[in-house]
Amino acid sequence: MTLKQGAIVIAEDKFHHNDKSHRPHIILNNSSHPNYGVQYICMSVSTKQYERGIELTEDFFEYNNLYEKSYASPWTVLPIQEYEIKKTVAQLKPEAVEALETELFGYINPNRTVGTAEETKNTTSTQVSAD
């Protein structure tokens, strides 16, 4: 299985110790990843709204959606193996992925700052709507 950057997949929930827990994750890496197709760099998605969670509004999606209000958690990045993925449920637009990555980089690059979730949402909505 080779997944496109921005795919939203359902995979094991590594934050809960229940073997049956699953959650949506956004595929962040592209085909330059050394283990592309076997391992993916993912951002977790939650239905719970955290202070800096970014709401995945309709204009973020290229096709399909998550059918309930969901938030990307840019500070929650983890590797997911291909065999842990149960299914692909949606696809984000490239501009939406770029906005989420920008927010993530603010947490790991000392020369960048992280905006508020509202700022990111407004910026992303403007970028995505312009297309």
- pLDDT at position 111: 76
What's the start-to-end Cα distance of the chain, in Å? 29
Q: Which pLDDT score, from 0 to 100, does residue 13 have?
A: 84
Query: Under a CB-based contact definition with an 8 Å cutoff, are residues 52 and 71 in contact?
Result: no
Q: Which domains does the chain have, with CATH numbers?
A: 7-129 (2.30.30.110)
Instruction: Using the structure block, give the residue that is written with the tokens 């949606």.
Output: 90
pLDDT in tens, 20-56: 788 999 999 887 887 888 899 999 999 999 988 999 9
The low-confidence residues of the chain, meaning pLDDT below 50, are 117
- What's the burial of 19, exposed, middle or buried (CB within 10 Å: 0-12/13-18/19+)? exposed
Q: How far apart are CA 49 and CA 71, in angstroms?
A: 6
Give the model's pLDDT for residue 78.
94
At 83, is the secondary structure helix, strand, or coil? helix
